[in-house]
């Protein structure tokens, strides 16, 4: 419920600068995609964006440490983060939907199932629906599937353990056990980056040894879109955890008041849950 102490920040330059940075980045990227320029403009925009993010967050952290945020502001942040994560869930849902649609509908139809039999007979009479598939035209050539048992299983264990370590760190924070907090958080960060490293290794293995590429038809498309988008989120999450780790080392947060920590922990659990979906539907089934 509303109180007169609700902190309304006055003028701010950060959002406007963030927009300028984003637009520079996107113009650069679009020109690069059109083969009209190199990536200089993109990197300029990105660098500017990172500066803005650093500046904006430093400002907010200062305000937070200065005690400007009361319980009601804290609740606004909680709602904000929760709904932001929900929006990310829906973003992933679009890609999972594409995977589901290809496996359950478009590939069976291309193989002549149901009323779509004439497509199969006229265009690709020899095509049979076997997942993984790069489609009736064998787009990208033969490839070998990424097995669930190797690195993906290892990565699943890594992420699950990291979920435990971040919770252990959270308990440390709440109970005032500083060593447990720092140790748990450090472990989480390390596990996060190890995951990303393994993922990068997996990609190079797929490209070099398995001929599994983004261009490998629907399997390659969904595989790289889903794992790539997830990997990007893990990277972001690990960077966010690193920032929180430094803040913890500096002595930020109290056992009562540590929304910054919790927001990143929520995000980390979200990334974890998405991975479980990926492991089951992309690698395993």
User: Between residue 56 and residue 85, which ones bind another protein under the rule CB under 8 A?
Assistant: 56, 62-63, 65-68, 72, 75-77, 79-80, 83-84
Nearest to 137 by CA among 217, 68, 49, 54: 217
Contacting residue, 54, 91, 232, 284, with another protein by CB under 8 A: 91
CB nearer to another protein: pick between 87 and 179: 87
Environment class of residue 67 by beta-carbon count within 10 Å: exposed (0-12), middle (13-18) or buried (19+)?
exposed
Residue 9 interacts with another protein (CB under 8 A): yes or no: yes
How far CA 102 is from CA of 134, 218, 230, 282, in Å, comes to 11, 7, 20, 12
DSSP run (H or E) holding 90: helix 71-101
Binding residues for another protein restricted to 132-161, rule: CB under 8 A: 133-137, 139-140
CB nearer to another protein: pick between 75 and 164: 75
Binding residues for another protein restricted to 174-213, rule: CB under 8 A: 213
- The token pair that represents 242 in the structure block: 């690193």
What is the closest distance, in whole angstroms, from the C-beta atom of residue 2 to another protein in the complex? 4
Q: Which stretch binds another protein (CB under 8 A): 29-37, 197-205, 248-256, 266-274?
A: 29-37
Contacting residue, 37, 106, 186, 257, with another protein by CB under 8 A: 106
Binding residues for another protein restricted to 238-277, rule: CB under 8 A: none
Distance CA 18, CA 247 (A): 23
Contacting residue, 105, 157, 161, 280, with another protein by CB under 8 A: 105
CB nearer to another protein: pick between 11 and 209: 11
Q: Which stretch binds another protein (CB under 8 A): 99-107, 141-149, 176-184, 238-246?
A: 99-107
Q: Please, which residues have CB within 8 angstroms of residue 93's CB and are 6 or more apart in sequence?
A: none
Q: DSSP characters for 221-279?
A: HHHHHHHHHHHHHHHHHHHHHHHHHHHHHTT---SS--HHHHHHHHHHHHHHHHHHHHI
């Amino acid at each position: 419920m509303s109180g007169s102490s609700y902190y309304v920040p006055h003028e701010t330059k950060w959002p406007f600068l963030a927009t300028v940075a984003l637009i520079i980045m996107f113009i650069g990227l679009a020109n690069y995609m059109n083969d009209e320029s190199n990536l200089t403009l993109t990197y300029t925009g990105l660098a500017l964006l990172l500066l803005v993010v650093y500046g904006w967050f430093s400002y907010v952290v200062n305000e937070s440490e200065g005690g400007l945020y009361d319980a009601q502001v804290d609740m606004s942040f909680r709602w904000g983060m929760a709904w932001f994560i929900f929006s990310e869930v829906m973003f992933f849902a679009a890609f999972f939907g594409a995977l589901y649609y290809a496996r359950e509908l478009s590939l069976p139809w291309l193989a002549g199932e149901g009323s779509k039999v004439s497509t199969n007979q006229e265009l690709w009479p020899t095509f049979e629906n076997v997942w993984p598939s790069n489609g009736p035209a064998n787009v990208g050539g033969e490839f070998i599937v990424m097995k669930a048992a190797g690195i993906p299983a290892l990565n699943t264990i890594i992420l699950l353990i990291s979920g435990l370590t971040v919770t252990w760190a959270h308990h440390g924070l709440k109970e005032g056990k500083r060593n447990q907090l720092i140790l748990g958080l450090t472990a989480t960060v390390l596990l996060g980056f190890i995951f990303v490293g393994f993922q990068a290794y997996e990609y190079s293995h797929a490209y070099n040894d398995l001929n599994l590429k983004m261009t490998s038809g629907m399997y390659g498309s969904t595989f790289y879109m889903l794992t790539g988008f997830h990997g990007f989120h893990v990277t972001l999450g690990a960077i966010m955890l690193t920032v929180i780790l430094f803040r913890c080392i500096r002595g930020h947060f109290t056992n009562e008041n540590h929304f910054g920590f919790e927001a990143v922990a929520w995000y980390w659990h979200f990334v974890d849950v998405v991975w479980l979906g990926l492991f089951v539907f992309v690698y395993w089934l």
